Structure 1
Amino acid sequence: YEDTLSYGVGAEWSAFISENLFEYLDAPIVRVASADIPVPFATSLEQEFLPWNRLKDALEMLERY
């Protein structure tokens, strides 16, 4: 999911699940997405834009939950 955190489809999914399926959750909803900036064309900057490190951190946090 390479969309930005704000105003993306992931936010809508999170809201729907939180509002309608909360009792089925085993852990909190965590959204991990790209930074709220335009997609850079430089490869070095693109690696910072993509959320791989944030995804790893979020997965580790959920695993500890």
Structure 2
Amino acid sequence: MNPMLTALLEFNQAFEIPKLDAPGLGPEDLAELRVKLLREEVEEYAQALADGDLVEVLDALADIG
């Protein structure tokens, strides 16, 4: 199995994120969690830009992408 897919599956299992049987938006609480996590990463990105911290900018972009 692709190492990135393996890591994603492990992450989802660790945080008890359900595996959907078909494409869909999933439960509302899962969507809210995803928005919360994205907001946190965007804030980290903005702070890293303000600080001129290239390493943290790249880290935030990797987490967002």
Does the TM-score normalized on the shorter chain lie above 0.5? no
Q: Which has the higher contact order (CA 8 A, sep 6+)?
A: 1
> Which protein shows a greater Rg?
2
**Please, what TM-score do these two structures have when normalized by structure 1?**
0.31
**Please, what TM-score do these two structures have when normalized by structure 2?**
0.31
